[in-house]
Amino acid sequence: GASVWAWLGVIGILMLFTLALTWLAIIAGLNAKTVDGASAFSYPLIFLPFISSAFVPTDTMPGPVQWFAENQPVTSIVNTIQALFAEQPVGNDIWIALAWCVGILVVAYVFAIISYRKKVS
């Protein structure tokens, strides 16, 4: 029952997060010596949803895990998506999610350009 605007918001956030992660993968691809080394980069990223609010509320997690879960990008993205689909106010989660996505994108882009220039020179 989510509105068209909510769906567009979800699609936009997911596309932005995917773009940011793609630039992170480009850095790994440029710096890895082998294909296996480049693909191994993604393993830590696979675990981020499991240590977020995607499956359980963060307030049910033990102290250090809760702190990490509340301060990583997937939690704010999941909270935003859940709020959009439920047509509830997204609060600050949407701004935190966008800040994470744009921040990761900009930093990864800069490092990818640096890596590329080192590789071609």
Q: pLDDT by residue (tens digit) across 5-62? A: 999 999 999 999 999 999 999 999 999 889 888 888 888 888 999 999 999 999 999 9
DSSP state of 111: H
Give the pLDDT of residue 113: 96
Q: Is the pLDDT of residue 94 over 90?
A: yes
pTM over 0.75: yes
